[in-house]
């Protein structure tokens, strides 16, 4: 249906249409064209020949659409996203984001790679081809992300090198093992060398990095960063030549803090990214269009915000002829009602109308569930696995920070009953457990987290960044085990248990990360799950994503994996009762 980006460009025909000697296939009359090069809005016709824009001015065409002053902009680009975090298959993900004006995404299949390795990457690659959404890929750089956890597979530079030659592969995804980069770990440097030797980009992931360490990281030619949480950090990394990915996911929300970075002289060095945004948010709140709206509400000029969402991202990744409404560019465009509301009325891909008024023009069926190997392998769960014997009067506790994936490292007095440390509901301290699920092995760890807000029951999920073992947060062991067992029964998913029973669940049978059902089903089940979580008392807007990031050992300050508590600052495992004196 759509042309491959590698198809030959019809040069002679384009010149004839652009010059006015030949009628265009399609002409948009009376358009207000957003020019992301100059920052202006100009009035005129837009001539389209086949999949390409021929010119802007006065044109006649075989088909004419009078836009009556509506605005035309390039379709939007998400500069860094894990499609798996939407919890739906790629074709269903496209159904969610294309009606919101998204024409392309830079996808990192890091999540499924940590579960299934190349099998998962190849599945995502195959599923992303040929639809109304242009998928580009960054190959995972850290599988596993650290040696402080157990994941499903390990990938070295020889595994990823063959895919680097594919035209849709733009480079190496977030180099989250930043200590490995700084201290020259061969396993990560070999992957960087492969990418650089092929002229590819390398994405960054280095929260709070500064000084000589930041210089060393940038000297590895890592040219982007999506972990900035305040304007000072963003400016510091921009000053070192790093392209700033401004993130607004379901849990990590950095747009408001970083919006002042978007100025006429800096916008070309910024992109909008969602990183991790679930289907419920994609359908109800939107995608990159929502970030443009929010940026405008924070005082960013509308045309600059659109530039960040289009041309800036395309130029950073070396994507030619997308990201602008200009002669020779692909006719990947959106029609907007205004520059204030950014309501997307029509979406065109290569000159073909693919979405109108929030719906796909041509709907897609359910993608057949792929035949992937079993990914949840646990032989047993015993109550004593989750008991914590008191061995001191102070303990390390993970402290939640609202709307962030970074956490605090708290020191708290344990609540002890019959020699066992138990959750303390009065102080909002819950038990958190990580259960290895890839190899049916024994590693499982138990700690405590403050700030989840639950006063009853348990929540569990097979989405637990980055190795995606089973994570559970609970007020008691009985519900913890029930919620975890449900994950095993479903071969992955999310569950909520209360009073010894599972009260709500969502199966995610594809690698324990994605549903095999349509987006509407997943949306409705996520609503039910959030209601079930709220019945446990949590006030968090995204409790399951918040829980999923408790196990991410490359994000400060205290995390937990199946091997134990991780002091991220010192990049090592610590005992629950090994507290500073």
For 381-411, the pLDDT digits (tens) are 888 889 999 999 999 999 999 888 899 999 9
* Whole-number pLDDT of residue 502: 98
396, exposed or middle or buried, with CB in 10 Å at 0-12, 13-18, 19+? buried
Give the span between the Cα atoms of 422 and 111, in whole angstroms.
32
Rounded CA gap, 442 and 431, in Å?
19
573 beta partners:
566
Structure confidence at residue 211 as a pLDDT band (50, 70, 90): very high
Q: Residues 485-496: what's their mean pLDDT?
A: 96
- pLDDT of 364 over the 80 cut: no
Name the band, by pLDDT with cuts 50, 70 and 90, for residue 365: low
Give tens-digit pLDDT for 180-205.
899 999 999 999 999 999 999 999 99
pLDDT digits (tens, 9 = 90+) for 52-106: 999 999 999 999 999 999 999 999 999 999 999 999 999 999 999 999 999 999 9
Does the pLDDT value for residue 352 go beyond 80?
A: yes
Q: Considering the entire predicted model, what is its pTM?
A: 0.93
Q: What tokens were used for 111?
A: 């999540």
Range 540-561 average pLDDT: 93
Q: What is the pLDDT of residues 428-446, one digit of tens each?
A: 999 999 999 998 887 789 9
Q: Would the pLDDT of 327 be above 70?
A: yes
pLDDT score of 310 more than 70: yes
How confident is the model at residue 58, as a pLDDT?
A: 96
Asked if pLDDT for residue 557 goes beyond 80, the answer is yes
Q: Are strands 201-204 and 224-225 parallel, antiparallel or unpaired?
A: unpaired
> In this structure, what are the phi and psi dihedrals at residue 274, rounded to the nearest 5 degrees?
-105, -25
| pLDDT over 90 (residue 116) | yes
Q: What is the pLDDT of residue 389?
A: 96
Per-residue model confidence (pLDDT) at position 13: 97
Q: How confident is the model at residue 5 (pLDDT cuts 50, 70, 90)?
A: low
Q: What is the pLDDT of residue 473?
A: 98
Residue 381 has a pLDDT of: 87
488-492 — which CB contacts under 8 Å span 24+ positions?
A: 488/376, 488/378, 488/381, 488/437, 491/374, 491/375, 491/376, 492/375, 492/376, 492/462
- pLDDT tens for 439-470 read 888 778 999 999 999 999 999 999 999 899 99
CA torsion 119-125-127-132 (nearest 10°) is 170
**% of the chain residues with pLDDT over 70:** 98
Tens digit of pLDDT for each residue in 6-21?
A: 678 999 999 999 999 9
> How far apart are alpha carbons 202 and 199 in whole angstroms?
10
Superfamily of domain 73-321: Metal-dependent hydrolases (3.20.20.140)
Tokens coding 235: 């400016």
For residue 4, pLDDT beyond 90: no
Are 437 and 463 within 8 A, CB to CB? no
What is the percent of the chain where pLDDT is above 90? 86
- How much is the mean pLDDT over the chain? 94
Tokens in use for 415?
A: 């609540």
Reported confidence tier of residue 2, pLDDT bands at 50, 70, 90? low
pLDDT of 370: 81
257 closest CA partner among 129, 361, 404: 404
Q: Which residue has the tokens 């992300």?
A: 145
Q: What is the pLDDT, as a whole number, of residue 435?
A: 96
Per-residue DSSP letter, 232: H
Amino acid 366: pLDDT: 64
Q: Is 431 left (phi over 0), alpha (psi -120 to 50) or beta?
A: beta
Confidence at residue 443, expressed as pLDDT on a 0 to 100 scale:
74
pLDDT of residue 258: 98
DSSP state string for 449-486: EES----SSEEEES--TTTT-EEEEESSHHHHHHHHHH
Q: 120-135 pLDDT, tens per residue?
A: 999 999 988 888 999 9
Would you kindly state where each structural domain of the chain is located, as residue ranges?
A: 73-321, 383-574
Examine the pLDDT at 1 and tell me if it is beyond 80: no
């Amino acid at each position: 249906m759509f042309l491959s980006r590698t198809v030959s460009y019809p040069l002679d025909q384009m010149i004839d249409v652009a010059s006015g000697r030949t009628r265009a296939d399609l002409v948009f009359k009376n358009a207000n064209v957003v020019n992301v090069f100059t920052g202006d809005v100009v009035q005129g016709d837009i001539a389209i020949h086949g999949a390409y824009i021929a010119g802007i001015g006065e044109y006649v065409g075989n088909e004419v659409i009078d836009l009556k002053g509506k605005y035309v902009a390039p379709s939007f680009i998400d500069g860094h996203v894990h499609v798996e975090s939407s919890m739906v298959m790629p074709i269903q993900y496209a159904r969610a984001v294309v009606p919101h004006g998204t024409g392309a995404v830079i996808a990192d299949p890091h999540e499924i790679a940590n579960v299934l390795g190349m099998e998962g990457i190849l599945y995502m690659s195959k599923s992303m081809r040929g639809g109304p959404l242009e998928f580009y890929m960054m190959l995972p750089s850290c599988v596993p992300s650290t040696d402080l956890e157990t994941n499903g597979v390990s990938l070295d530079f020889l595994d990823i090198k063959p895919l680097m030659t594919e035209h849709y592969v733009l480079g190496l995804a977030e180099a989250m093992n930043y200590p490995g980069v700084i201290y020259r770990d061969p396993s990560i440097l070999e992957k960087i060398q492969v990418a650089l030797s092929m002229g590819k980009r390398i994405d960054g992931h280095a929260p709070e990095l500064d000084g000589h360490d930041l210089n060393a990281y940038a000297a590895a030619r890592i040219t982007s960063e999506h972990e900035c949480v305040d304007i000072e950090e963003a400016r510091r990394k921009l000053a070192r030549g790093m392209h700033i990915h401004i993130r607004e996911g379901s849990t990590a929300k950095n747009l408001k803090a970083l919006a002042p970075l978007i100025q006429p002289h800096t916008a070309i060095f910024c992109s909008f990214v969602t990183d991790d945004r679930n289907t419920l948010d994609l359908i109800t709140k939107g995608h990159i269009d929502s970030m443009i709206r929010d940026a405008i509400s924070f005082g960013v000029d509308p045309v600059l915000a659109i530039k960040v969402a289009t041309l800036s991202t395309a130029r950073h990744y070396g994507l030619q002829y997308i990201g602008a409404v200009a002669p020779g560019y692909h006719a990947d465009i959106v029609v907007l009602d205004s520059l204030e509301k950014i309501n997307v009325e029509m979406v065109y891909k290569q000159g073909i109308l693919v979405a109108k008024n929030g719906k796909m023009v041509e709907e897609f069926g359910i993608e057949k569930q792929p035949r992937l190997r079993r990914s949840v392998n646990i032989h047993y769960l015993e109550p004593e696995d989750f008991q914590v014997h008191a061995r001191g009067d102070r303990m390390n506790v993970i402290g939640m920070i609202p709307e962030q994936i970074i956490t605090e490292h708290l020191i708290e007095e344990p609540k002890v009953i019959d020699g066992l440390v138990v959750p303390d509901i009065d102080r909002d301290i819950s038990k958190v457990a990580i259960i290895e699920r890839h190899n049916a092995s024994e590693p499982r760890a138990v700690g405590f987290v403050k700030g989840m807000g639950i006063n009853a029951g348990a929540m569990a999920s097979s989405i637990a960044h980055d190795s995606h073992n089973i994570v559970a947060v609970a007020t008691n062991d009985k519900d913890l085990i029930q919620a975890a067992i449900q994950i095993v029964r479903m071969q992955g998913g999310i569950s909520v248990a209360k009073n010894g029973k599972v009260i709500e669940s969502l199966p995610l049978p594809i690698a324990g990360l994605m549903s095999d059902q349509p987006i509407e089903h997943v949306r409705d089940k996520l609503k039910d799950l959030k209601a079930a979580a709220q019945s446990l008392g949590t006030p968090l807007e995204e409790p399951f994503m918040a829980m999923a990031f408790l196990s991410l050992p490359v994000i400060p300050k205290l995390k937990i994996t199946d091997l134990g508590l991780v002091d991220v600052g010192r990049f090592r495992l610590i005992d629950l009762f090994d507290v500073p004196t």
